[in-house]
Amino acid sequence: MDVDADQGITHDRPGWLLDEVGSAGRENLDVDHVQRYDVKEDAAAASEVALLRGWGLDEDSHVVELGPGTGQFTLAVAPTCARVVAVDVSSVMLEVLRTKLARARVRNVDVAQAGFLTYEHHGRPADLVYSRYALHHLPDFWKAVALTRARHLLRPGGILRLWDVVYSFDPCEAQERLEAWCATGHGEGGDGWSRAELEEHVRDEHSTFSWLLEPMIERAGFAIEDATYSPDGMLATYVARAR
């Protein structure tokens, strides 16, 4: 396993570029939160790997994961493909991921401390770019830039698999929908997400409407082949193919 904290990051960052670490979300830089993340969030990694096999993932595939966090998907996909590059801006998340990789003796995962806007890919183009609940840390302008950069990571015909908090309702419904979602939060200290954490997401992070995000995906050079929305209009998943 080749693990290099600086691999893939652009060191000469222009002054106008978004600070990706500063935009990563308070909780993702917090040791206590990160240590409890796997209890709070199940990435359904085995199901994702099975789904992506149907979209062409195989033992020869090269995968770039943008925002792996603690590495639930990373560890699930690594045995099924040739190479994974796990790219995250949070040194706290990456420390947990590295520990898991070492314990599992996984040798085909490279770790890059970088982000959507700063990762520089080396090696052959990826067959799959995977991102789960990470893109919302970027404002919409930077989402469009990030999606275009993700397209450049992929070979023609490669797959982008994207999960995120995405609002598939009209703005006039926002108060009702957001309040209902935040009301699903648990009390502080529980195993799930608290109301305060859900409120913080809505208030301080950059989830956007599906009817804004989807044209960004298409303009970046993808054809959306599958879009699935949660019944409450708060979450969306996409499979998009690089044109």
Q: Is residue 145 part of a domain?
A: yes
Q: What is the DSSP string of 173-197?
A: GHHHHHHHHHTT-B-TTSSS-BHHH
CA 36 to chain centre: 18
Q: Who's near 243: CB < 8 A, 6+ residues apart?
A: 156, 221, 222, 223
Q: Is residue 159 part of a domain?
A: yes
Q: Is residue 177 part of a domain?
A: no
Domain of 128, in residue numbers: 26-168+207-242
Distance set, CA 76 to CA 84, 106, 109, 149, 165 (Å): 11, 11, 11, 25, 22
Q: Is residue 66 a contact partner of residue 143, using CB atoms and an 8 Å limit?
A: no
Q: Is residue 18 part of a domain?
A: no
Domains of the chain: total: 1
* CB neighbour class for 160 (10 Å; exposed up to 12, middle 13-18, buried from 19): buried
**Partner residues linked to 209 by β-bridges:** 167
Q: Is residue 213 part of a domain?
A: yes
Residue-level pLDDT, tens digit, the chain, 243 residues:
444 444 455 457 899 999 999 998 887 777 777 788 888 889 999 999 999 999 999 999 999 999 999 999 999 999 999 999 999 999 999 999 999 999 999 999 999 999 999 999 999 999 999 999 999 999 999 999 999 999 999 999 999 999 999 999 999 999 999 999 999 998 665 568 999 999 999 999 999 999 999 999 999 999 999 999 999 999 999 999 999
Rounded to the nearest 5 degrees, what angle is found at the Cα of 234, between the Cα atoms of 87 and 70? 25
Q: Is residue 11 part of a domain?
A: no
Q: Is residue 207 a contact partner of residue 201, using CB atoms and an 8 Å limit?
A: yes
Q: Is residue 216 part of a domain?
A: yes
Return the CATH number at 151: 3.40.50.150
Q: Is residue 30 a contact partner of residue 92, using CB atoms and an 8 Å limit?
A: yes
pTM for the whole thing? 0.93
Q: Is residue 21 part of a domain?
A: no
